[in-house]
Amino acid sequence: MAGSILAVGGCGAPGLRQSDALVAARNFQTALSEAGSGRACALLAPQTRQEVASDAGDCAKGPAQEQPPVASGDAADAVAEVHGRQAMVRLSGDALFLSQFDAGWKVVAAGCTPRPDIPFDRKVKGS
């Protein structure tokens, strides 16, 4: 019986991680559309935050300066693919890559557009 409970609990985890990744991506998109992007900066992964701060001189100015697209459409259009502690979230008008940290999902790259036969072109990214 305990094995059955563990199996069911384990099966639910990917759906929860997908949902959490979607929420993190939407929070980042919302922060981009707000005046100032200090909150958007706080939602970036540490290395991405450091890279943006280095490029822009101030991380709070960086995400907006890179001008990643702000997704439009409703939540039904959003799709998250989670693989371990990595996720790709496709929103209408943007694709974001996220990593899961102890503090939750953080944006590694945003403003990503697919290019044939080569990796995504990314506006906001870490090295």
Long-range contacts of 9-18 (CB under 8 A, 24+ apart): 14/82, 17/82, 17/87, 17/100, 18/80, 18/81, 18/82, 18/87
Q: Which two tokens stand for residue 77?
A: 């259009």
**pLDDT tops 70 at residue 68:** no
- Domains of the chain: which residue ranges? 2-125
pLDDT tens for each residue of 38-60: 888 899 999 998 888 887 777 87
CATH 1.10.287 is right for the domain spanning 2-125? no
Nearest to 108 by CA among 100, 116, 83: 100
Give pLDDT tens digits for 85-106: 999 998 877 789 999 999 999 9
At residue 14, what are phi and psi to the nearest 5 degrees?
A: -60, -40
Confidence label for 12 from pLDDT (cuts 50, 70 and 90): very low
Would you state the pLDDT for residue 90?
Answer: 87
